[in-house]
Amino acid sequence: MEFKQFYSSIDDDKAFALVRSRLQGSGNTGGKTLRTVRRKIIDSCGLQEQRKNVVFILVESFSAGFMKEFGNKENITPFLDSLAQQSIFFSDMYATGTRTVRGMEAVTLCIPPTPGQSIVKRPENSDLFTIGSVFRKKKYATDFFYGGDGYFDNMNAFFGGNGFTIYDRGRGSVLSDKIKTVRNNIQDKEVTFENAWGICDGDIYAKMLTTADSHYSKKELFFNFVMTTSNHRPYTYPDNAIDIPSGTGRNGAVKYTDYALGEFFRKAKEKLWFKNTVFVVIADHCASSAGKDEIDIANYHIPAFIVNMPHDQNRKVLKQCSQIDFFPTFFSLMHWSYNSNFFGNDILNSNYEQRALVGTYRKLTLMKKNRVMILSDQKKQSAYLWNKKDNSLSPVAIDPNMLEETIAWYQTADYLFTNKLLH
């Protein structure tokens, strides 16, 4: 959807000036134009860069509301509830969208959701500046693991076209000759359970573990990106793994997802590379986003964890934040300096301004604490106050400054992709 045709807009230079004023970092590496978010991120702590392996797990459909930490009484996430006490735990983070490809877009490109389809599914989405670009600049091997066929939702084309080695269950489709990457099929002998969506989480973790072993044996630093599949209809998983029978509903799939993560960490702790590895876990989106209001805010609330950093860094981060901020924050914790083309900020920085960017394929939202501004197609806008207790939105008068800022975030993101400036 062409942004200026369907949505309220402002002057492009003004939009970029507004967004740049909200971004951490220094300098303009975009040449003469100011229509850029490129900047230098310089670690200000003066500490040595951390050179640790990174395992990143993007968990399918995992709402914050599944956890006891957020009031759930079903006891279906015992491992993650324990992990919340032993990690850097982000308790007020929001997904940008309602689909897996939106979560992938948010964490890999650190960009607000543009209207229409996710960038993951769009043409001309290769050779972009992604988190993988930062890792490869730091001499990491970058791998993408998916238990299904990565042809689905254009995942292989996106990750393969952006420098990741692919590990998936695909058996029929092939990568385009234009994509310069390696694809490794997961073999039948490596599978203990499979449904229509792919192999169970336990099997994809096993594949990741053996690949990590291989990198370690070659003395390679690795960034392994794992996309899980088990927390999805038809909610089936290996028999006798947990005390809820397979295929009986969402609670069972959530509990199996939690169980498989716990087993993965137990096995990872036995590896020689564990001590020098950081694990990051975040949901791609919530299990449901349908609600009575324009945007169902509570159903964008997701958990996020950074695990195995030095113990004295563990804490609960209470600031409101977005998926797009996750990796800029992680890179800061690693004391990395790098050139950035991201819209995300370091949440732990004292200058961080709390906000979240959430949307559907048509509605684009900026939330600041309990203030909510929504852009709709047909160039409509609306403003609300969000009541967190009952998840309701109460209409209020539009704040012109917040309206302009909302437009700026989304207009600039759309501009950069449309004009091929995300490379």
**Residue 338 sits in the same domain as residue 307:** yes
CATH number at residue 314: 3.40.720.10
Give the C-alpha separation, 159 to 218, whole Å: 23
HSE-up of residue 250 (Cα within 13 Å, Cβ side): 10
In a domain, 44, yes or no: no
- Is residue 280 a part of any domain in this protein? yes
302 and 170 in a common domain? yes
Phi/psi region, residue 160 (left: phi>0; alpha: psi -120 to 50; beta: rest), is alpha
Looking at the fold, whether 310 and 221 belong to one and the same domain comes out as: yes
> Closest by alpha carbon to 113, among 380, 318, 406, 391?
406
Q: What is the CATH number of the domain that holds 394?
A: 3.30.1120.80
| Three-class HEC string of 27-82 | CCCCCCCCCCCCEEECCCCCCCCCCCEEEEEEECCCCHHHCHHHCCCCCCCHHHHH
Same domain membership, residue 333 and residue 223: yes
Same domain for 166 and 99: yes
What span, in angstroms and rounded, lies between the C-alpha atoms of 33 and 44?
Answer: 27
Domain-ending residue, one of 353, 382, 397: 353
Nearest to 221 by CA among 129, 140, 103, 296: 140
Residue 107 lies in a domain: yes
**Domain-ending residue, one of 353, 385, 408:** 353
Residue 19 lies in a domain: yes
Please tell me the pTM assigned to this model.
0.95
Residues 106 and 243 placed together within one structural domain of the fold: yes
Same domain membership, residue 180 and residue 160: yes
Among 311, 332, 353, the domain boundary falls at: 353
158 and 178 together in one domain: yes
Q: How many domains does the chain have?
A: 2
Q: Is residue 30 part of a domain?
A: no
> Are residues 319 and 362 both part of a single domain?
no
Which sign, positive or negative, has the C-alpha torsion 110, 114, 118, 121? Answer: negative
**Which pLDDT does position 292 carry in this prediction?**
46
72 and 152 belong to one structural domain: yes
Domain span at 387: 3-24+357-418
Residues 345-369 pLDDT 10s:
999 999 999 999 999 989 999 999 9
Q: What is the DSSP letter of 273?
A: T
**Same domain flag for 249 and 390:** no
| Residues 181 and 102 occupy one common structural domain | yes
Tell me which residues of the chain have a pLDDT lower than 70. Answer: 28-33, 171-180, 289-293
